[in-house]
A and B are shown apart, each in its own frame.
Chain A
């Protein structure tokens, strides 16, 4: 998605987090003992189950709440979640697939120019904050979209938001701001 620019910016979604409920109590020990690719953490009280095909990791609690992370797209997340539910069904639990919700989407994007972070922060106070002592990136929070963009001085940005659409909008929103404070590149290699 580009905005008034010649090159298209590649927004790569790296992680999608989704939750759903099975509406039934799950016996974690059974899952741990009868499933492949599971890690049981009794101290915390959850089971980590990793699926291979949509490559996702799911945290399963005994209350029936499940969080899936690691998917690369919203559809993938849903498919993975359904696979997981099916798997649990086969283990003998009466699962129902309900309340599926994508909670967080993380994407990275790279600008073709470097960004001057101090100017960027000065222009956009107080939405943007930059603490070099704590983190090398400037954080820009868009309240309306509930999205957070972290801008690095190299020009790469990471965007987290509640869904893919919000992420795309956030990138569009922030592109002109970054364009203003870009560091012109010169210097032959």
Chain B
């Protein structure tokens, strides 16, 4: 029981109606204006029946915080969490109205959102995406005919992005959304297609069609909307409605090709052979078909087999044909007029180059280089002149001009291959060279030394050489690259110039480096206690506490209460601060809350009293945990104040006398010191007990 501070008697009279706690021994008033949690009744205006006094306040909606006593400082505005929730609710309502969803669905969506918020799934995602995903989740669980496409239409967001968010949500919240049934969409689309009186019949027909399609395995892996479109088209035609595919597409939101494909697939099924009456009457009982993609696969396989067989036959025929070809060629040659003089040289050159390629491939690259170099140098010269036009055609033209001497036809024939042979031979030679080296790379052991030395086993140096360009080649490539990326390089130069100018003017701002989520170093500590303390040093829970001051408090961990408390509360606690003098306790309690002034108001309105009730024994820091506990606006009205003063004192709190004076520095934040009723807080005068 409580003891009176003055006389030590345990006989204390608590009068709830007056709100007093008075010691019967010495008569001192221990408490005044006790906050009680009784329910009051009064007569209601209408019939005179009794009604309870009070407001219902929702746990999470926060909303209207009661301002008590002074109204000039009404807490720190609404808490962030409450605002987030209020925003979410508003947006869900707006979205839902656009989709014409009923209130029950919207409420469920709001609940999903709250769950997501608690699991921190909203971090890093656009809130609109998360809201849309919650809504879609509701649609799926309730079975409403809303498609993800509708939502993405409303939000103008890519469907797949929404889909990704939706999948993550569904997985994290462990909500199994039932698979979409195309039958769900039929009535909705039928409405939009305006079948008038016959709406119901067309819908029924379409439904039967879809069911048949399902049996025929047309629906696995396909967008349900596409199936619906095909079914509706056929159903409409069956009932003599002329709905063109364009109309269907605009309603169903698939493209024409998809619709056509579904219709073709449907055509393949035996159902399509039935007439309308047969279809309506017959029981859809006949055999199921294989899925269309499976059929396609089989068909492809068969085609391939046929091709193989054909090829074999072709080979036989080919030999014959080749014989004939050779004969014809020789004849033609004899008949063709022979080229004279210069032109002969060109034809020879033509024949020379391909042979050259093969010859060089057998030897090293070096042999080929001199020849290639000449041509490349020629190209490079031209490069020096004309850096602007660097297209293949330009190169070709450059090639052609020096060597054009005679008639164009022959020359072009002679020149073009040579150009290709420039750009050709290097890679081809390399590949052919590689082929040779492949043999010597038969067995390789990959024994890399762990210290990072590159094990050259099995790596042929010559082959690697192929990968590297030569000096001359480097120059050419540099020129090519510069020309190609001239835009980018210009931008870079401009940027540098700009930065230099700004530096001179002294207004250069370093480009903001986005901090990539500071990684915390792993905490090394020998005991749990130390670990927790270190963690607390790094991690900051509340913006309302000046942690530096708390840190300065001499940390004297007390073993016995600390251990069970540490074990019990998972959340880290501040260094155990113990109640140093009970004299101050009644002091704090006795002072009316209103007289505490600004500093403590935030704590009064913002504090989660429920948490306190739990932690009252452990105390620790209600302050430190404000982030993790859902805000409740019921601080003032709930919680037995007597045992756990909501804010002002929280059980065992200890601090050294020496460090008391330090709390003066902390300004906007309130330190625990102050709250614990330290002397400087203006209670000195009342220290008359």
| Interface residues of A, Cβ cutoff 8 Å to B | 23, 32-37, 40, 42-43, 51-53, 75, 78-79, 82-83, 85-87, 89-91, 95-98, 100, 114, 116-118, 121-122, 125-126, 129-134, 136-137, 152-155, 183, 185-187, 189
CA distance A155 to B221 in the complex (A): 12
Chain A's closest residue to B469 (CB) is A34
CA distance A75 to B451 in the complex (A): 20
CB distance from A140 to the nearest CB of B (A): 12
Chain B's closest residue to A82 (CB) is B459
Q: Which residues of B contact A152 (CB under 8 A)?
A: 221, 293
Q: Mark B288-299, 1 if CB is under 8 A from A, else 0.
A: 111101100111
Q: Quick check: A126 and B176 within 8 Å, CB to CB?
A: yes
CA distance A155 to B298 in the complex (A): 12
Q: Quick check: B464 and A86 within 8 Å, CB to CB?
A: yes
Q: Quick check: A87 and B221 within 8 Å, CB to CB?
A: no
With contacts A34-B474, A96-B453 taken as known, whether A90 is within 8 angstroms of B459 at the C-beta atoms is no
CB distance from A96 to the nearest CB of B (A): 3
19 A–B pairs (Cβ distance < 8 Å), ordered by A:
A33-B478, A52-B434, A79-B446, A82-B458, A82-B459, A89-B454, A91-B468, A96-B452, A96-B454, A97-B453, A100-B448, A114-B294, A133-B149, A133-B224, A152-B221, A153-B221, A154-B293, A185-B294, A186-B287
With contacts A95-B454, A186-B287 taken as known, whether A116 is within 8 angstroms of B220 at the C-beta atoms is yes
Q: Which residues of A contact B289 (CB under 8 A)?
A: 187
CA distance A116 to B294 in the complex (A): 12
Q: Quick check: B179 and A189 within 8 Å, CB to CB?
A: no
CB distance from A74 to the nearest CB of B (A): 10
Q: Which residues of B contact A35 (CB under 8 A)?
A: 467-469
For chains A and B in complex, what number of residue pairs have CB atoms within 8 angstroms?
A: 151
CA distance A79 to B442 in the complex (A): 12
Q: Quick check: A97 and B452 within 8 Å, CB to CB?
A: yes
Q: Which residues of A contact B166 (CB under 8 A)?
A: 131
With contacts A23-B452, A85-B454 taken as known, whether A132 is within 8 angstroms of B291 at the C-beta atoms is no
CB distance from A109 to the nearest CB of B (A): 14
Q: Which residues of B contact A132 (CB under 8 A)?
A: 179-180, 219-224
CA distance A82 to B457 in the complex (A): 9
Q: Which residues of B contact A129 (CB under 8 A)?
A: 167, 170-171
Q: Quick check: B297 and A86 within 8 Å, CB to CB?
A: no
Of residues 411 to 457 in B, which have CB atoms within 8 Å of A's CB atoms? Answer: 426-427, 430-431, 434, 438, 444, 446, 448, 451-456
Chain A's closest residue to B457 (CB) is A82
Q: Given A82-B458, A97-B455, list of 14 further CB < 8 A pairs?
A: A32-B481, A33-B469, A36-B426, A52-B431, A79-B446, A82-B448, A86-B459, A90-B461, A130-B179, A133-B225, A134-B160, A134-B167, A185-B290, A189-B298
CB distance from A111 to the nearest CB of B (A): 11
Q: Which residues of A contact B454 (CB under 8 A)?
A: 82, 85-86, 89, 95-97
Q: Quick check: A83 and B459 within 8 Å, CB to CB?
A: yes
Q: Which residues of A contact B302 (CB under 8 A)?
A: 189
Among A37, A78, A82, the one with the most B-chain Cβ atoms within 10 Å of its Cβ is A82
| Interface residues of B, Cβ cutoff 8 Å to A | 147-149, 159-160, 163, 166-167, 170-171, 174, 176, 179-180, 217, 219-225, 287-291, 293-294, 297-299, 302, 426-427, 430-431, 434, 438, 444, 446, 448, 451-456, 458-459, 461, 463-469, 474, 477-478, 481, 485, 488
CB distance from B188 to the nearest CB of A (A): 15
For B474, give its contact among A33, A40, A137 (CB under 8 Å): A33
Q: Which residues of B contact A85 (CB under 8 A)?
A: 454
Among B224, B477, B488, the one with the most A-chain Cβ atoms within 10 Å of its Cβ is B477
Q: Quick check: A79 and B474 within 8 Å, CB to CB?
A: no
Q: Which residues of A contact B220 (CB under 8 A)?
A: 116-118, 132, 153
Chain B's closest residue to A185 (CB) is B290
Q: Quick check: B477 and A33 within 8 Å, CB to CB?
A: yes
Closest 3 CB pairs of A and B: A96-B452, A136-B221, A98-B452
CB distance from B295 to the nearest CB of A (A): 8
Chain A's closest residue to B182 (CB) is A132
CB distance from B11 to the nearest CB of A (A): 62
Q: Quick check: B464 and A87 within 8 Å, CB to CB?
A: yes
CB distance from B681 to the nearest CB of A (A): 55
Q: Quick check: B453 and A133 within 8 Å, CB to CB?
A: no
Q: Which residues of A contact B294 (CB under 8 A)?
A: 114, 153-155, 185
CB distance from A121 to the nearest CB of B (A): 6
Q: Quick check: B147 and A75 within 8 Å, CB to CB?
A: no
Q: Quick check: A114 and B148 within 8 Å, CB to CB?
A: no
With contacts A34-B468, A79-B446 taken as known, whether A133 is within 8 angstroms of B159 at the C-beta atoms is yes
Q: Which residues of B contact A87 (CB under 8 A)?
A: 464, 467-468
Chain A's closest residue to B136 (CB) is A133
Q: Quick check: A183 and B291 within 8 Å, CB to CB?
A: yes
CA distance A40 to B482 in the complex (A): 11
Q: Quick check: A153 and B293 within 8 Å, CB to CB?
A: yes
For B217, give its contact among A37, A40, A90, A114 (CB under 8 Å): A114
CB distance from A91 to the nearest CB of B (A): 7
Q: Which residues of B contact A82 (CB under 8 A)?
A: 446, 448, 454-456, 458-459
CA distance A99 to B103 in the complex (A): 57
For A90, give its contact among B147, B291, B464 (CB under 8 Å): B464
CA distance A146 to B454 in the complex (A): 31
With contacts A35-B468, A36-B467 taken as known, whether A154 is within 8 angstroms of B297 at the C-beta atoms is yes
CB distance from A9 to the nearest CB of B (A): 16
Q: Quick check: A90 and B465 within 8 Å, CB to CB?
A: yes
For A183, give its contact among B217, B431, B434 (CB under 8 Å): B217
CB distance from B449 to the nearest CB of A (A): 9
With contacts A95-B454, A114-B291, A154-B294 taken as known, whether A75 is within 8 angstroms of B446 at the C-beta atoms is yes
Chain A's closest residue to B221 (CB) is A136
Q: Quick check: B223 and A133 within 8 Å, CB to CB?
A: yes
Q: Quick check: A79 and B221 within 8 Å, CB to CB?
A: no
CB distance from A156 to the nearest CB of B (A): 8
CB distance from B341 to the nearest CB of A (A): 40
Chain B's closest residue to A96 (CB) is B452
CA distance A89 to B454 in the complex (A): 9
Q: Quick check: A42 and B488 within 8 Å, CB to CB?
A: yes
CB distance from A69 to the nearest CB of B (A): 18
Among B149, B171, B221, the one with the most A-chain Cβ atoms within 10 Å of its Cβ is B221
CA distance A102 to B434 in the complex (A): 26
CB distance from A187 to the nearest CB of B (A): 5
Chain B's closest residue to A97 (CB) is B454
Q: Which residues of A contact B456 (CB under 8 A)?
A: 82, 86
Q: Quick check: B488 and A126 within 8 Å, CB to CB?
A: no
CA distance A140 to B387 in the complex (A): 55
Q: Which residues of A contact B466 (CB under 8 A)?
A: 36
Chain A's closest residue to B485 (CB) is A42
CA distance A140 to B160 in the complex (A): 19
CA distance A35 to B466 in the complex (A): 9
For B464, give its contact among A83, A126, A137, A183 (CB under 8 Å): A83
Q: Quick check: A134 and B448 within 8 Å, CB to CB?
A: no
Q: Which residues of B contact A116 (CB under 8 A)?
A: 220
CB distance from B578 to the nearest CB of A (A): 46
Q: Which residues of B contact A130 (CB under 8 A)?
A: 179
Chain A's closest residue to B227 (CB) is A132
CA distance A25 to B286 in the complex (A): 69
With contacts A98-B452, A100-B448, A114-B294 taken as known, whether A125 is within 8 angstroms of B176 at the C-beta atoms is yes
Q: Quick check: B431 and A79 within 8 Å, CB to CB?
A: no
Among B160, B288, B464, the one with the most A-chain Cβ atoms within 10 Å of its Cβ is B464
Chain A's closest residue to B181 (CB) is A118
CB distance from A8 to the nearest CB of B (A): 18
Q: Which residues of A contact B465 (CB under 8 A)?
A: 90
